[in-house]
Amino acid sequence: MKSPICDLLGIEFPLIAFTHCRDVVVEVSKAGGMGVLGAAGYDADTLEIELNWIDEHIEGKPYGVDLIAPTSMATSDDDTRESMVARVPDEHRNFALNILAQHGIDGADVYEKTRAGIAGGFLTESKATNIIDVAFAHPIKLIANALGVPPKYMLEMGKQRGVAVAALVGAKEHAIKQVEAGVDVLVVAGTEAGGHCGEVSTMVLVPEVVQAVQGHDVGILAAGGIVTGRQMAACMAMGAHGAWTGSMWLTTTEAETSPVVKEKYTRASSRQTVRSKYRTGKYSRQLRSAWTDAWEEEDSPQPLPMPLMSLVSEPALSRVAKLAEGGHSGARNLATYFVGQGVGLMNEIQDTRTVMREFMEDYLLATERLSATLED
% pLDDT > 70, the chain: 92
Mean pLDDT of 88-105: 97
Q: What is the pLDDT of residue 112?
A: 84
Residue 115 has pLDDT above 60, yes or no: no
Q: What is the pLDDT of residue 72?
A: 46
- Domains of the chain (ranges; CATH) run 4-74+122-248+354-372 (3.20.20.70), 82-115+257-334 (no CATH)
Q: What is the pLDDT of residue 71?
A: 55
At 128, the pLDDT band (50, 70, 90 cuts) reads low
Residue 73 has pLDDT above 50, yes or no: no
% pLDDT > 90, the chain: 84
Q: What is the pLDDT of residue 68?
A: 81
Q: What is the pLDDT of residue 184?
A: 98
Residue 291 has pLDDT above 60, yes or no: yes
At 122, the pLDDT band (50, 70, 90 cuts) reads very low
Q: Please check whether residue 368 is in contact with residue 232, taking contact to mean a CB–CB distance below 8 angstroms.
A: no
Give me the chain's average pLDDT, please.
92
Q: What is the pLDDT of residue 85?
A: 83
Residue 54 has pLDDT above 80, yes or no: yes
Q: For residue 32, which amino acid is it?
A: G
Higher pLDDT, 44 or 119: 44
Q: For residue 273, which amino acid is it?
A: T
Residue 23 has pLDDT above 80, yes or no: yes
186-207 residue pLDDT tens: 999 999 999 999 999 999 999 9
Higher pLDDT, 80 or 367: 367
Q: What is the pLDDT of residue 119?
A: 43
Residue 65 has pLDDT above 90, yes or no: yes
232-288 residue pLDDT tens: 999 999 999 999 999 999 999 999 999 999 999 999 999 999 999 999 999 999 999
Residue 3 has pLDDT above 90, yes or no: yes
Q: In what order do the strands lie in the sheet with 195-196?
A: 195-196, 284-287, 273-276
Helices assigned H by DSSP within the chain: 4-9, 22-30, 44-57, 81-86, 90-102, 125-136, 152-161, 172-181, 202-212, 229-237, 259-267, 290-295, 308-325, 329-334, 352-372
Q: Which of 278, 262, 259 is nearest to 339 (CA)?
A: 262
Mean pLDDT of 3-24: 98
292-331 residue pLDDT tens: 999 999 999 999 998 899 999 999 999 999 999 999 999 9
Q: What is the pLDDT of residue 147?
A: 83
Q: What is the pLDDT of residue 40?
A: 83
Residue 120 has pLDDT above 80, yes or no: no
User: DSSP string spanning 146-209?
Assistant: SSSSPPHHHHHHHHHHT-EEEEEESSHHHHHHHHHHT-SEEEEE-TTSSEE--SS-HHHHHHHH
Q: What is the pLDDT of residue 74?
A: 43
Q: What is the pLDDT of residue 376?
A: 65
